[in-house]
Structure formats: C-alpha cells, structure tokens
C-alpha cells in the first residue's frame, strides 16, 4: 500500500508500506470529468500542482494534518494504474484500504455553502437538499467508501465540514435507501445478498464492469479483473463467487 505525505519542502511524495502501516486518512470523491485528476505519474514527476484536481489532494493533506495524521491515501495518485497486476491487487484490497483508515474525508465537489446563510432554517434545509442530491451518492465505488470506514466526514467544495455519517444518518439514508445500521458499523453479514445488491441499484461507474468490481468488498470476495468482459459477465462471475462462498459458510456451520 502506498501512502502520500509531504517532504520538508512541501512536495508530495509516496511511501510504500507492506506491513506496519502507519495511521492514515483517505479521500473519497468523484472523479473530475475533464481528466484533471492528480495521477500517480504526476506525483512522481512533480507536476501534481499543475493539475486541476490538486485542490482535493491538498484538502485531504491539510485536513489529515489537522487531525494529527502524517499520511493519507488518494485513489487517483496512490495506485499505478499502468500496472494491471497492481490495479487488480488494489481493487481487491480497496475495501480494506478504507476500512483501515483512521478517517475518511468525503469531498463533495458539487455541494457549496457559499450561497447559504447557515443561521437560517430555510437555508439549512436547502443545503440538506443539495447534500442529498450530490453526485457522490450515485457512484458505484462510493458505496464501499461510505460503509467500510468507521469515521466518514463530509465536506463542501470549500472544505467546510457538514457532518459525519452518524450525525447525517437520516439524510444519507434518504439519499441512498441504505439502512442506517449498515453504514454505521453493523456487520454486513447481517444483510442478505438481495439487500446488499439493492444498495448498488442505480449507481453508475465509468467502466461497465466496475459496477460488479466495486461490490467485491461488500460481499467479501476476491476475483480477477477482466476488463472487456462487459457488465453482464462481470455480474455473473460475482454472483457465482458470492453463492459459492455462501454455501461454504453453510457447510462450516
């Protein structure tokens, strides 16, 4: 697992850990449609600050530092996606990356507090509506990013803290339909297969296979990635593995 930090000159740097992973924060966000994200290569060649998405990385670094955390993880730049083997390992490990984080910061690029008077009840209600309508709640990968970490905090595009998944439980439930207990720490094994599949209904991924791949952690399965197989085949493989695991657990009992 690679983690980000900053050197004495304030430059982003990556450190790889195979064991004894230090405390860290993670960033949860939606990718920019303009391709402006900070990527692995940008951190390595020193061009990260030139990317439009650098503000999110800086936000995560500064917020982590305010909570006493030196290291942080951002999916866009901590994974070398040019390596198929690394990408496969990372996607199969993604749920554990988020679950192992001390804090998860959700950056809502489409939620702004700039136009709201937070001392006004009507403005607060309007902000809640904007929160529930955020694109973050419609993406496939963010499902596990909501459920896996014990601490999930939501921030506006200005970096204003809106609350966490405990204080905002009713609003998150309304936005997603997911039972509050499911994203506030109840064991996922307590929810049947059909229920967990419903949580992902209507969520979107850029690559069609990722709809299935983003559910690996939700069902505690590991599978090889076969980009190009299409969504239907990816789902078929996922369901086969889920049911094989379910039968195995029954035999153990």
pLDDT digits (tens, 9 = 90+) for 39-59: 999 999 999 999 999 999 999
Which range (7-11, 22-26, 207-211, 224-228) has the least confidence?
7-11
Burial of 35 (0-12, 13-18, 19+ CB in 10 A): exposed
Residue 5 pLDDT grade (very low, low, confident, very high; cuts 50, 70, 90): very high
Q: 200 with 82, same domain? A: no
For the chain, give percent helix, strand, coil, nearest 5. Answer: 45, 15, 40
Q: State yes or no: pLDDT of 190 exceeds 90.
A: yes
| Average pLDDT of the residues in 165-175 | 97
Q: 156 with 201, same domain? A: no
Q: State yes or no: pLDDT of 252 exceeds 60.
A: no
Q: 63 with 128, same domain? A: yes
Q: State yes or no: pLDDT of 117 exceeds 80.
A: no
Q: 132 with 245, same domain? A: no
Taking the C-alpha atoms of residue 246 and residue 253, their distance in angstroms, rounded to an integer, is 11
pLDDT of residue 162: 96
Q: 88 with 41, same domain? A: yes
199-228 pLDDT per residue, tens:
999 999 999 999 999 999 999 999 999 999
Which residues are CB-contacts of 218 (< 8 A; sequence separation ≥ 6)? 95, 143, 144, 147, 188, 196, 199, 200
Residue with tokens 């996606």: 81
Which range (117-126, 186-195, 224-233) has the least confidence?
117-126
Taking the C-alpha atoms of residue 38 and residue 9, their distance in angstroms, rounded to an integer, is 19
Q: 174 with 54, same domain? A: yes
Range of the domain at 133: 2-186
Residue 122 pLDDT grade (very low, low, confident, very high; cuts 50, 70, 90): confident
Q: State yes or no: pLDDT of 3 exceeds 90.
A: yes
Of 144, 159, 186, the residue at which a domain comes to its end is 186
| Rg for the chain, CA atoms, rounded | 19
56-79 pLDDT per residue, tens:
999 999 999 999 999 999 999 999
Q: 170 with 81, same domain? A: yes
Q: Which two tokens stand for residue 163?
A: 């609350």
The pTM for the full model equals 0.93
Of 186, 215, 233, the residue at which a domain comes to its end is 186
Q: 195 with 176, same domain? A: no
CA dist list (Å): 40 to 51, 142, 232, 242: 12, 20, 31, 32
132-167 pLDDT per residue, tens:
999 999 999 999 999 999 999 999 999 999 999 999
Q: 158 with 222, same domain? A: no
**Nearest Cα residue to 60 out of 49, 71, 52, 50:** 71
- What's the structural domain count of the chain? 2
Of 132, 152, 186, the residue at which a domain comes to its end is 186
Q: Which two tokens stand for residue 117?
A: 């008077």
Chain mean pLDDT for the chain: 94
Q: 90 with 166, same domain? A: yes
**Nearest Cα residue to 77 out of 106, 107, 99, 44:** 44
- What strands, in cross-sheet order, belong to the sheet with 2-6? 12-16, 2-6, 71-73, 24-28, 103-107, 152-155, 161-164
Q: 112 with 6, same domain? A: yes
Residue 249 pLDDT grade (very low, low, confident, very high; cuts 50, 70, 90): very low
> What percent of the chain lies above the pLDDT cut of 90?
89
Q: 158 with 49, same domain? A: yes
């Amino acid at each position: 697992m690679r983690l980000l930090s900053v050197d004495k000159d304030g430059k982003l740097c990556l450190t790889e850990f195979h064991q004894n992973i230090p405390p860290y924060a993670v960033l949860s966000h939606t990718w920019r449609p303009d391709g402006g994200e900070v990527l692995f290569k940008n951190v390595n060649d020193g061009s990260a600050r030139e990317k439009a998405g650098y503000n999110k990385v800086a936000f995560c670094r500064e917020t982590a530092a305010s909570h006493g955390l030196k290291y942080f993880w951002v999916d866009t730049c901590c994974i070398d996606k040019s390596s198929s083997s690394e990408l496969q390992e990372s996607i199969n490990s993604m749920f554990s990356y988020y679950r192992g984080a001390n804090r998860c910061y959700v950056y809502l690029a489409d939620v702004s507090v700039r136009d709201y008077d937070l001392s006004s009840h009507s403005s607060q209600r309007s902000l809640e509506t904007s929160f529930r309508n955020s694109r973050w709640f419609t993406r496939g990968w963010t499902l596990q990013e909501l459920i896996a970490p014990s601490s999930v905090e939501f921030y506006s595009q200005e970096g204003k803290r809106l609350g966490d998944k405990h204080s905002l439980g009713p609003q998150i439930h309304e936005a997603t339909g997911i039972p509050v207990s499911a994203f506030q720490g109840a064991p996922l094994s307590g929810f049947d297969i059909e229920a967990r599949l419903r949580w992902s209904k209507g969520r979107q991924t850029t690559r069609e296979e990722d709809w299935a791949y983003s559910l690996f952690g939700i069902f505690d399965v590991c599978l090889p990635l076969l980009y190009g197989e299409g969504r239907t085949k990816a789902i078929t493989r996922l369901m086969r593995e889920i049911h094989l695991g379910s039968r195995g657990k029954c035999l153990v009992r």
